[in-house]
Amino acid sequence: MEFVSSIKMGNDPELFIKSGNRLLPSESIIKSKHRTVKVDNAAVELQPGPSHCLQMQNKFIASALAVVKKILIDQDLAATHISVRPVERLRLEDIDKYSTVCAFGCQPSLVYDGDGLRTSAPTVNPRKVRFRSVGYHVHIGSSKPGTDYWEYKHAREKRVCNLLHTTEGRVRLVQMCDLFVGLPAVLMERDNRVPIRRKTLGYGKAGEFREQPHGFEYRTLGSWPLLHPMWGWWANGMVRDCLNLVFNDLDTDIRKSINMTKVAEIINEGNLAGALEYWQAAKNTLIPIMKQWGDKFSNVNLADSHPLFSKELLKRFDFLAMKRDLVRRVFNFNSWCKRKHFKGWEGQRLVGFHIGFDNGSKERVKEFEDWPEFSESWSLSKDIISKQMLA
């Protein structure tokens, strides 16, 4: 058993720009080419990274967001606001005016829903359907086998790249991503527009991924992780930890004990009760794994970079899901790209670089008076959140 931590992570998250209730097509705002920002239908797409480090990836996202902020200021649009809701609706006159909002021509995705693998692509008419969607896509990458001697001279690196560059390996990985990322995301993203993104527009379905030249892209998540750096870090770290499960062949027994077809249905339906039931079942599968890894890696602080294998971080996730953390958040550039001085570092740095799920959630839970009681009562095998969340 061993950890894979040095694999490259990347993202291409999307966001909407709005003026009051009006969705502004990104074509009307982005007038020139930028290395980390581009037009994607009605949305702005960020292209930060990639990086081997979760904190550096946060920094790259923050830097891309700083570019968006500057563009808005330069266009005298500082009064606009950012939306990362699953979908927003265009005005008919903007559909007629801007050609990019009718470009649904991105490459098809693959979807594995527990029963089989199929191709998925939007089928709606972009001139008749006014909704547009955004997502937070997580990439894991490596060179193809045999293309980089230094990267693939060791058996571990060869095994990682074979998982990321074969359909079989990617299907195994996307199932773990659904169970440990897409499923708990149902607890977080309690937005009534989620079904429009998945059912009407056909984006962000359970088991949705792309076979990329660099490896694998998980496409199920909405853009809600952009609401705070700790959630961006969480999403990237959880996907990477899913790779650790597959790399160590731990996914085989997990899939035998969990109905993955049902997991896909729960994600696609946004079924909160089902998500709570299966999230507890998913956590139960981690109990023997954590015991084995706890014995072997007793000198490793798992909370530092492995949110899926840290009991403390899983506990804080459950608490923040129960408290509906996202409901209390709106997007704020300062959460990511404000510059400030940090002790031990020279000069001012982007705050997004210094915030992960470990330190971010630690500060967040302190804001709630019932956190100490919850912390004392919580265990990996005990469901103490369903009653309140379903009330």
Distance CA 42, CA 85 (A): 13
Contact 205, 332 (CB under 8 A): no
Q: Which helix (H) or strand (E) covers residue 46, if one does?
A: strand 43-46
CA atoms within 13 Å, Cβ hemisphere of 131: 18
How would you classify the pairing of strands 109-112 and 37-40? unpaired
Which pLDDT score, from 0 to 100, does residue 114 have?
84
Residues, the chain, total?
A: 391
Question: Which of helix, strand or coil describes residue 155?
Answer: helix
Per domain, the residue ranges of the chain are 8-390
Residue-level pLDDT, tens digit, the chain, 391 residues: 788 766 899 999 999 999 999 999 999 999 888 999 999 999 999 999 899 999 999 999 999 999 999 999 999 998 999 999 999 999 999 999 999 999 875 678 999 988 889 998 888 899 999 999 999 999 998 766 666 554 555 667 778 888 999 999 999 999 999 999 999 999 999 999 999 999 999 999 999 999 999 999 999 999 999 999 999 999 999 999 999 999 999 999 999 999 999 999 999 999 999 999 999 999 999 999 998 887 777 777 888 889 999 999 999 999 999 999 998 899 999 999 998 877 777 677 899 999 999 999 999 999 999 999 999 999 999 999 999 999 9
Distance CA 307, CA 23 (A): 35
Which pLDDT score, from 0 to 100, does residue 1 have?
73
- % helix, strand, coil for the chain, step of 5: 50, 15, 35
50 cis-preceded (ω within 30 degrees of 0):
yes
Which pLDDT score, from 0 to 100, does residue 300 have?
77
Which pLDDT score, from 0 to 100, does residue 159 have?
84
Distance CA 75, CA 58 (A): 26
Give, rounded to a whole angstrom, the gap between the first and last alpha carbons of the chain.
Answer: 41
Contact 64, 47 (CB under 8 A): yes
Contact 267, 164 (CB under 8 A): no
Which pLDDT score, from 0 to 100, does residue 126 have?
92
pTM: 0.95
Bridge partners, 11 (sequence order): 138
Q: Which helix (H) or strand (E) covers residue 73, if one does?
A: helix 54-74
Alpha-carbon distance values, 384 to 121, 322, 364, 374 (Å)? 39, 9, 19, 8
Contact 144, 165 (CB under 8 A): yes
What are 59's two structure tokens? 């920094």
Distance CA 202, CA 220 (A): 11
- What is the distance, to the nearest Å, from the Cα of residue 381 to the centroid of all Cα atoms in its chain? 25
Burial tier of 76 (Cβ tally within 10 Å: 0-12, 13-18, 19+): exposed
Distance CA 281, CA 55 (A): 30
